Every structure is written in C-alpha cells, then in structure tokens.
Amino acid sequence: MSHPLLKHGIRHLHTIKPTAAAASVSASSFAETLLQDWKSQSQSRKDLICSQILDINQLRKLNATLPFPTFSTSKPIRISVPVSIPPCHHLVYFTPSDAELELGSDGSDRIFNPPVPFTRRMWAGGELEWVSGNELVVEEKVVEKTKLESAEAKRTRNGEDMMVVRVEKKFENSKGLALVDRRVKER
C-alpha cells in the first residue's frame, strides 16, 4: 500500500489552492488568534522546550555536504577534549520529530503555521547572538526553548494579505545561555 504523500519514493509536495471560504480569513484575524492562543497556553507552559545531546554524527552529515575544516568525514573522531560546534551548525539539531503526516507540506513542524491561504512560508530574516565564553559543544546536552515573539498582518506589494511571524529560540547548556536564534518568516 502506497503512502498518500509519497510518489515514486519521493515526498510529493503540492500547493494548496485556497477555497472561497479560506480566502476570507484575514491575516490580521489569524495573527491575533495565534498570539492569543500562544499567550493563553504560555501561562502554563512559557516556552516550547526540548533537549538533545549534540552528537558528532549530525556534524559529520552536514560536513559531508558543506565541508568545514574542523571536521573530517573519513576518519573517526575520538572526543577527548571538548569540540565546539562551528557557527550556525546548531541548525542540524532539534529537527522536527513528528510523523510525516503531521508536518507541513515543506517538511517543517506546524507549530506556528497559519491556515489556508497563508500556507506558503518564506524565510524573511533573522539574527544570531552568541554568548561569549559559552560555546555549544559536541556530546553535551542542550535545551532549546522556543517562543512566539510576534505575529502581525502585512500587505504584499500586490496588495495581498500576508503574515510575518517572529520566533525566538534560546539554546542553553550546563553553563547557561549559549545562543539566541531569532527568526522572521513571512506567510
């Protein structure tokens, strides 16, 4: 039996065409709902929190695609001293662990995804702030805390509604805060 999202062994991505009812949903009403839901849930939860051991295998996989001089993909690495994770390599950790059917059409989690017609997602910017003297290190446990900073309605140059969602991710290790990753996504 074939999985509905798989076609010839490759994930089938498709675009969703908005219905007339879905098109009536405004970006501003969804942004307001998203923020209200997050605030009401955050009183009991504060942030989305998950933890992970930063294993060397993830870095090796990334280095096989995007070589970085610190890591070799051909030789086993024995860790006897702390090995710092290179800048921006934190992105290979904390990937969604949801079942494929629970992911968005682009393979991302749906935590802050709006309904149709705002399903197209585009990276719109962000910033990274590293804490001096506290690097992320291979084989250490790191906690990622994610929170919704804002959701606002905007208009495109063509006059169409869109949403701008800002998310903040904080990464903490045994020494405390190590990295803040702020992301801006347009939908």
What are the structural domains of the chain?
Answer: 6-186 (3.10.129.10)
**For the residues 101-122, what does the mean pLDDT come to?**
72
What is the arithmetic mean of pLDDT over 114-119?
Answer: 69
- Both tokens assigned to 101: 């059917």
Kindly report, residue by residue over 15-53, the tens digit of the pLDDT: 434 444 444 467 777 777 777 776 666 555 556 899 999
Question: Does pTM top 0.85 for this prediction?
Answer: no
Of 44 and 113, more confident: 113
Across 23-32, 71-80, 116-125, 161-170, least confident range: 71-80
pLDDT, tens digit (0-9, with 9 covering 90-100), for 140-177: 999 999 988 888 888 888 888 887 888 899 999 999 99
pLDDT value of position 46: 58
Q: Got the DSSP string for 26-68?
A: -HHHHHHHHHHHHHHHHHHH-SEEEEEE--HHHHHHHHHHS--
